[in-house]
């Protein structure tokens, strides 16, 4: 999963190569983008797990 996140960051960065000159610190930008995407993925996985458990809880099955 971590490798996928880094790959996604590089793909986004590459797709915005015409905007690189506007980025003051490219390394900091990459770290921040990676952190934000990782947090988004964790949140997404958490929501998915909750959705998968919810029907069982409604039916009283543990």
One-letter-per-residue 3-state SS of 1-62: CHHHHHHHHHHHHHHCHHHHHHCCCHHHHHHHHHHHHHHHHHHHHHHHHHHHHHHHHHCCCC
Which pLDDT does position 49 carry in this prediction? 62
Please state the rounded mean pLDDT for residues 36-42. 93
Please state the rounded mean pLDDT for residues 7-20. 92
The answer to whether 8 and 32 are in contact (CB under 8 A) is no
Which pLDDT does position 57 carry in this prediction? 59
- pLDDT, tens digit, 9 for 90 and up, residues 18-37: 998 999 999 999 999 999 99
Which pLDDT does position 45 carry in this prediction? 80
What is the number of structural domains in the chain? Answer: 1
pTM, to two decimals: 0.66
Please state the rounded mean pLDDT for residues 37-53. 77
Task: Determine the structural domain holding residue 19 and report its residue range.
Answer: 2-58
């Amino acid at each position: 999963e971590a490798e996928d996140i880094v790959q996604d960051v590089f793909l986004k960065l590459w797709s915005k190569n015409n905007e690189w000159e506007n980025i003051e610190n490219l390394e900091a930008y990459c770290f921040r983008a990676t952190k934000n995407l990782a947090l988004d993925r964790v949140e997404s996985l958490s929501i998915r797990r909750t959705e998968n458990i919810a029907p069982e809880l409604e039916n009283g099955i543990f």
